[in-house]
Chains A and B, each alone.
Chain A
């Protein structure tokens, strides 16, 4: 009789321990599954603002009226070419890549492991999504670490606006 009661108590104790372990596991699973944190970064925002003033090698009307980087987003969307015959989208792609790599210096063995650059045309600024002006430029893999993010102001273009986003990790 005493033996049975002892066994019952052990079973009860094990049940309590298992219950606590299950609750802890559920809590851990929820905290690990939380989406990747995206934090606004002053450095990235300053970089984007300064990079948009960069004078490119592309003149849209005449030489030496070289376009600034921000002008090329609109020109690329409209399918314009530079005076020297180069495609504005190609110049845009090359310049953005060069600026990001020189300015932020990403690399597998560096503090900044990767980045994703996006330029999107929004017909209506209150709507999400939009049409990509150039294919997103990516380097490295930002899927599992803290992401720092910089978003440019909306730049008017045609009847809509252009928004530029750079995420780094």
Chain B
């Protein structure tokens, strides 16, 4: 009788031990799962941010295809007519053309640079200048840019010349 009682109590102890080990193991697995999920979530968040930024870049790039910017000399989707952009400068009718949320519209030359990249283009220094600002509302904004080819007619030599540039768009609010 005593012997069977002792055996039963030892069996219960064993089951208890097993239960503790299982619980500990499950907690360990849970911690690993939480760690893994948190890493995956942060990667997903960063991927979502990148996709959002790339969509914005595609939108900025679409500007180069609008009649105000498009180079119509050749069949070139990425070409912007720098002469046209220069002509748009200081036009008050274009100040609200792209909507009130657009605080900055700028076309910048990237390569080659003549002097300072921040040299604003004027009738005096064009085309050997750094940038043309079409709109600058002097507000805080989130900027997005996209590479384009800046094409213009080169009067010395009478040919068209394309250089590397960027369209920069500043958006206020969301």
Bitwise interface map of B from 127 to 139 toward A, beta carbon under 8 Å scored 1, else 0 = 0000000000000
A25 located at the interface, meaning its Cβ lies under 8 Å from any Cβ of chain B in the complex:
no
Minimum CB distance partner of A98 in chain B: B111
Chain A residues within an 8 Å CB radius of B54: 41-43
Asked if B157 and A64 sit within 8 Å, CB to CB, the answer is: yes
**On chain B, which size bracket covers the interface?**
20 to 34
Interface of A is mostly: helix
Asked if B164 and A51 sit within 8 Å, CB to CB, the answer is: yes
Chain B residues within an 8 Å CB radius of A66: 159, 161
A103 located at the interface, meaning its Cβ lies under 8 Å from any Cβ of chain B in the complex:
yes
Asked if A102 and B148 sit within 8 Å, CB to CB, the answer is: no
Q: Count contacts on A: residues with CB < 8 A to the other chain.
A: 25
Interface residues of A in 37-65 (CB under 8 A from B): 39, 41-43, 46-47, 49-51, 53-55, 63-65
* Nearest 10 pairs of A and B residues by beta carbon: A53-B149, A102-B111, A64-B159, A42-B54, A64-B157, A50-B147, A46-B147, A50-B149, A55-B161, A47-B147
How close is A143's CB to chain B, nearest CB, in angstroms? 21
Asked if A54 and B163 sit within 8 Å, CB to CB, the answer is: yes
Minimum CB distance partner of A39 in chain B: B50
A80 located at the interface, meaning its Cβ lies under 8 Å from any Cβ of chain B in the complex:
no
B57 located at the interface, meaning its Cβ lies under 8 Å from any Cβ of chain A in the complex:
yes
Asked if A50 and B148 sit within 8 Å, CB to CB, the answer is: yes
Asked if A99 and B111 sit within 8 Å, CB to CB, the answer is: yes
Minimum CB distance partner of B64 in chain A: A50
Asked if B57 and A43 sit within 8 Å, CB to CB, the answer is: yes
B68 located at the interface, meaning its Cβ lies under 8 Å from any Cβ of chain A in the complex:
no
- B74-82, B86-94, B97-105, B118-126 - the one binding chain A: B74-82
B158 located at the interface, meaning its Cβ lies under 8 Å from any Cβ of chain A in the complex:
yes
Bitwise interface map of B from 59 to 82 toward A, beta carbon under 8 Å scored 1, else 0 = 001000000000000001111000
How close is B23's CB to chain A, nearest CB, in angstroms? 14
Minimum CB distance partner of B74 in chain A: A53
> Given the known A-B contacts A98-B111, A102-B113, A103-B147, are A64 and B158 also in contact in the complex, defined by CB atoms under 8 Å?
yes
